Amino acid sequence: MMRPSLLAGVVIAGVTASTLAGAAPAGLTVTDMLAMQRVEDPVPSPDGKWLAFAVRETDMDANRGRFDLWLAAADGSSVTRLTTSPDNDSDPAWSRDGKWVYFLSARGGTSEVWRIAPAGGEAEQVTHVPVDVGGFKLFPDGKHLLLAAEVWPDAKTLADSVKHDAEKAKSKSHARVYDQLLFRHWDQWEDGKFSHLFVWTAPDAGGKADAARDLTPGATTDTPTHPFGGMDDVDIAPDGKSVAYMQRVGGREAAWTTNIDVFEVATAGGAPVNLTAANKAYDFSPLYSPDGKTLAVRSMARPGFEGDRLRISLIDRATKKTRTIADAWDRSADNLTWSADGKTLFTTADNVGNHSLFAIDVATGTAKVLLDKGTAHGPALAGDRLVFGHDTLTQPAEIWSVKADGSDLRQVTHFNDVRAKGIAWGGYEQFSFKGAHGDTVYGFAIKPANWDGHAKAPVAFLIHGGPQGSFGDHFHYRWNAEAFAGHGYATIMIDFHGSTGYGQAFTDAIRDDWGGAPYEDLMAGLDAAIAKYPWMDGKRTVALGASYGGYMINWINGKTDRFKALVVHDSNLDERMAYYDTEELWFPEWEHGGVPWEKPDGYTKSNPIDLVKNWKTPTLVIHGGLDFRVVETQGISTFTALQRKGVPSRFLEFPDENHWVVKPLDSKLWHEEVLAWIDRWSGSKK
């Protein structure tokens, strides 16, 4: 039934030239990194024997990534490509009988739902709607689909929404008019359209090809196709009679509140019911239990704080009562998966420099670590095993599996094995030291690739963003520590106060102290690493950071001249003005204790602009033109200050990138510019 595996040929296509020629392996380069195939999280078939998943390959000529669907036996015995398309094929979902793999594709010009038999063959288009489908889920009966689509809230039908689009396109004026925030978000200006959920009925079940019934008519919500959301925040009850989804509430207050609630609506229609109205903070990712009696939700407790601990809440659908489980487990739960008997919830969470896999006992709330090290993501149940994505600093993501008790760990896919073996990786280890407040703080130290055991290497000091985030044991495609190690740098990453995975109190410690404890941790961690590792040259150190990490670079420039060079990416120079520039106001209001006209001290306590007089370190400034979170004028202001003071500096601007640099050719240029800059000032010759 299955075609022969194509995996071997795919892997060999990405082997480095030096490996094929028999030369000694070189360290990781940006070219190597972009050549890696990015394996998405697995979706098991109903019988648990097969896994459907998307794989991203980089198309340098088109300057983009391209996704195709693959199929693997859950035991790893067979891997085969399901689709080959010039358009992205993504988001696989199995029919209940296992005869079809449904997926999202733009093959017909608009994004629609398609399907293909797991045995292969030609894909066939399922939906024929006049708007782009942003996401979908299958109803249990196999005759209906739940679709997400951006539409005009006053449109009665999808055709009405398309008509409104056409009328707007005819206008020769492109002026925008707004009456309230949020008027732009992340990297897009709001256009008045919102994401709605639709029930689509298959034509052979009495539906029309282009017909879809709006489950949320008139709703003005930016979910589920919000930049940070998706169909993971939507679920269909096992009996197909109800749909749960998340929706922002608050109207004009949406820019300064974090009140997102979970709603439930009958599939037959009717008024949605707010299930989490009592909680004025975030509620995410509703997930029905296998018996349909319980709805699991990830919830924060403190309104206005996006970095609060994500607790697991269980809503009894009969009584509407909510209880929190695993409250003693001081970690933030990522997306959830129920066990077949409903007695266990599986999840992943940041955990002391790793992103570990956990099993949570629903009755007792006891949390058990199933896989500690590295970065696990997207766990799903396949028979009696869990399948999930997993990566480390030296291993790009592959699919792995483990028994539900944490035993018998196995690697399922091997897309990048040969590529990885052709690279000289910098060895790494986690270390700890005493940081601010006398607390134990953790970091990672990475040796330069092909270190000869004698010469000291210049040091690249990487500072993560967030600030509620972590630089840990993870194969990152934007801030990859091994790319610096591959270029000859000893590399250090510190999870300072404010980082996640060390308990909520540690995360909370950064509030109203952006330039205090985190700076102390970073300097102490750098000192500890240089003292501990003889291969680090403490006299040739450079520091680099983005977002909050970029803020810290600007702060460092005014606090110390110990670094030979700095790289600052998408960062704030002036916390006061940044408040008025950004879109999600709840973030600075929480971090700095209120609004700046009432709590000015919170915005001036650790403000880099007030230390510009001390700046003297050569600095490369990088910014994305579409970054509406940290607005480009902040980067321009940073460069202006450096230039006016006569500090050696360079400005790299990406007009069509947002807070991240994601286009392959832009990523390549980013690495070339960054490495050339730090080489120049650290005295390294490449």
Which CATH number fits the domain that encloses residue 458?
A: 3.40.50.1820
Q: Could you tell me the pLDDT band of residue 249, with boundaries at 50, 70 and 90?
A: confident
The mean pLDDT of the chain is 93
Does residue 108 carry a pLDDT above 80? Answer: no
Rounded Cα–Cα distance for residues 619 and 170 (Å): 46
Read off the pLDDT of each residue in 621-648 and give the average, rounded to a whole number. Answer: 98
Rounded Cα–Cα distance for residues 492 and 37 (Å): 26
Supply the Cα-derived Rg of the chain in whole angstroms.
25
Residue 79 lies in a domain: no
Q: What is the pLDDT of residue 205?
A: 81
Query: What is the distance between the terminal CA atoms of the chain, rounded to a whole angstrom?
Result: 52
Q: Across the beta sheet with 273-274, what order do the strands follow?
A: 234-236, 242-248, 260-266, 273-274
Residue 82 lies in a domain: no
504's tokens: 């909520």
Name the catalytic one among 627, 637, 671, 682: 627
Tell me how far CA of residue 416 lies from CA of 57, 88, 219, 395, 469, in angstroms.
12, 21, 44, 8, 27
Q: What is the pLDDT of residue 22?
A: 55
Does residue 240 carry a pLDDT above 90? Answer: yes
Residue 490 lies in a domain: yes
Percent of the chain with pLDDT over 90: 88
Does residue 35 carry a pLDDT above 70? Answer: yes
Contact 573, 597 (CB under 8 A): no
Q: What is the pLDDT of residue 223?
A: 52
617's tokens: 């370190």
Name the catalytic one among 547, 571, 667, 684: 547
Q: What is the pLDDT of residue 158?
A: 93
Rounded Cα–Cα distance for residues 221 and 319 (Å): 27
Summarize pLDDT for 406-424 with one digit per residue, the tens: 999 999 999 999 999 999 9
List of long-range contacts for 403-408, beta carbons under 8 Å, 24+ apart: 404/339, 404/344, 404/346, 404/359, 404/370, 405/359, 405/370, 406/359, 406/368, 406/369, 406/370, 406/371
Question: Which range of residues forms the domain containing residue 546?
Answer: 426-681
Name the catalytic one among 196, 390, 569, 659: 659
Q: Could you tell me the pLDDT band of residue 109, with boundaries at 50, 70 and 90?
A: confident
Contact 104, 87 (CB under 8 A): no
Active-site annotation holds for 659: yes
**β-strands 619-624, 649-654 pairing:** parallel
Q: What is the pLDDT of residue 9?
A: 31
Q: 299 versus 153: which is more confidently predicted?
A: 299
Beta bridge partners of 284: 298
Summarize pLDDT for 483-541 with one digit per residue, the tens: 999 999 999 999 999 999 999 999 999 999 999 999 999 999 999 999 999 999 999 99
Q: Could you tell me the pLDDT band of residue 482, with boundaries at 50, 70 and 90?
A: very high
Residue 179 lies in a domain: no
List of long-range contacts for 581-584, beta carbons under 8 Å, 24+ apart: 581/631, 581/633, 581/634, 582/628, 582/629, 582/630, 582/631, 583/181, 583/182, 583/183, 583/184, 583/185, 583/186, 583/255, 583/628, 583/629, 584/182, 584/185, 584/255, 584/306, 584/629
588's tokens: 């600075």
Does residue 228 carry a pLDDT above 70? Answer: no
Q: What is the pLDDT of residue 23?
A: 66
Sign of the dihedral through C-alpha 627, 630, 633, 636 = negative
Summarize pLDDT for 581-597 with one digit per residue, the tens: 999 999 999 999 999 99
Read off the pLDDT of each residue in 335-359 and give the average, rounded to a whole number. Answer: 98
Read off the pLDDT of each residue in 544-573 and give the average, rounded to a whole number. Answer: 98
Contact 515, 575 (CB under 8 A): no
Residue 551 lies in a domain: yes
pTM of the predicted structure, to 2 decimals = 0.94
Contact 480, 33 (CB under 8 A): yes
DSSP H helices, 465-605, are: 481-485, 504-508, 517-532, 548-559, 575-581, 586-591, 600-604
Query: How many domains in the chain?
Result: 1
Q: Could you tell me the pLDDT band of residue 252, with boundaries at 50, 70 and 90?
A: confident
Rounded Cα–Cα distance for residues 204 and 437 (Å): 66
Summarize pLDDT for 285-310 with one digit per residue, the tens: 999 999 999 999 999 999 999 999 99
Residue 137 lies in a domain: no
Rounded Cα–Cα distance for residues 515 and 333 (Å): 28
Active-site annotation holds for 527: no
Q: Could you tell me the pLDDT band of residue 3, with boundaries at 50, 70 and 90?
A: very low
Q: What is the pLDDT of residue 16?
A: 46
Read off the pLDDT of each residue in 24-42 and give the average, rounded to a whole number. Answer: 95
Residue 596 lies in a domain: yes
From its phi and psi, is residue 8 left (phi > 0), alpha (psi between -120 and 50) or beta?
Answer: alpha
Say which range, 22-31, 290-299, 549-558, has the weakest mean pLDDT.
22-31
Active-site annotation holds for 390: no
Question: Which residues, in sequence order, are CB contacts of 488 under 8 Å at separation 6+?
Answer: 27, 448, 449, 457, 458, 684, 686
Residue 365 lies in a domain: no
Does residue 629 carry a pLDDT above 90? Answer: yes
